[in-house]
Amino acid sequence: MNAIRETNYNFPNQSGFYRGKVRDVYYFNDLMAMVASDRISAFDVILPRAIPCKGQVLNQIAAENLAATKDIVDNWLIATPDPNVAVGHKCQPFAVEMVIRGYLAGHAWREYHDGKRILCGVAMPNGLKENDKFPSPIITPSTKAHQGHDEDISREEIIAQDIVSEEHYSQLENITNKLFARGTELADKQGLILVDTKYEFGLKDGKIYLIDEIHTPDSSRYFYKDEYQANQDADIPQKQLSKEFVRQWLIENGFQGLEGQNVPEMTDDVVKMISDRYLELYSSFTGKPLEIDNTINLQERIEHKLSNWLKNHNI
């Protein structure tokens, strides 16, 4: 199937360009167009092969969830002129990611397994096993790195270092808790458990906006509700609808993004396995299969649809 490794467009009135780990961002003064590529990253390293359909899955799940949470907080999204494209307001991002966890999984579990009981200044109870539910969700923020690894940081450090003001941070905490509750409800309707996720926020005209993607397999972790408790009782690993299975595959093959380590070979079978899991999450979350068109040139389709949108909106 087609896959988009990167885009290199040059639109009229384009004022800038930025290539992130996954998205290619085209700036038009106070607007921005994000192209969700099929690149995949883990341990803050971009892996060598693109994953078919991944960008479309991320973009469409994010758009649905942004629409479903707009009553909680305004967000950056204006339109999705192509399945891989989102156009929205340019905001000044806060330099932290608001990570919220309802269950002891992923990074939190790895820290817990190493004996730590404080994560980002938040206490974790003794006696938990992997994937157990926390008594209540915990917020474990991280710094937003432009390059290299994001790092855990506490609420107190964020405020003391003036990364975010106390007033704004309190608002971000409140919004984060509300968004996670909404995300939990949306997942539950589809027989899923929202395990943990991250939100990013920015300021525009002094107002807080939700930015980037939300509740996607790149930013979130899901379990299947119907088999969760039986798996926990039997000490069976939970099947995850998230990018964690990619991290586990890398760990099993000797890679955690550390110096001197090499990314294992991504065979066609590995690429297909990852793509299939993204498609599975999309259908599980939305209740419908992803509409895929393999007969067209994705690069040309994206350029054509985005160009027409910009032209029709006099941009």
- Whole-Å CA distances, 19 to 7, 33, 235: 9, 12, 41
Q: Which domain holds residue 177?
A: 93-242
- CA of residue 308 relative to chain centroid, distance: 28
pTM: 0.91
Give me the phi and psi of 166, to 5 degrees please: -60, -40
Whether residue 279 is contained in a domain is answered as yes
* Whole-number Å distance between alpha carbons of 122 and 139: 8
CB-based contact 198:98 (threshold 8 Å)? yes
How many separate helices (H) and strands (E) can be counted in the chain? 8, 17
Whether residue 254 is contained in a domain is answered as no
Whether residue 8 is contained in a domain is answered as no
185 & 275 share domain: no
Mean of the pLDDT values across residues 279-297? 87
Q: Which residue has the higher pLDDT, 296 or 171?
A: 171
Q: CB count, 10 Å around CB of 300?
A: 9
Residue 277 tokens, joined: 């899991």
Question: What proportion of the chain, given as a percentage, has pLDDT over 70?
Answer: 98
Using one digit for the tens of pLDDT, what is the confidence trace for 191-227?
999 999 999 999 999 999 999 999 998 899 999 999 9
Lowest average pLDDT, out of 143-147, 247-251, 292-296, goes to 143-147
pLDDT > 60? residue 146: no
CB-based contact 241:190 (threshold 8 Å)? no
**Domain of residue 225, CATH code:** 3.30.470.20
CB-based contact 250:263 (threshold 8 Å)? yes
Domain count across the chain: 2
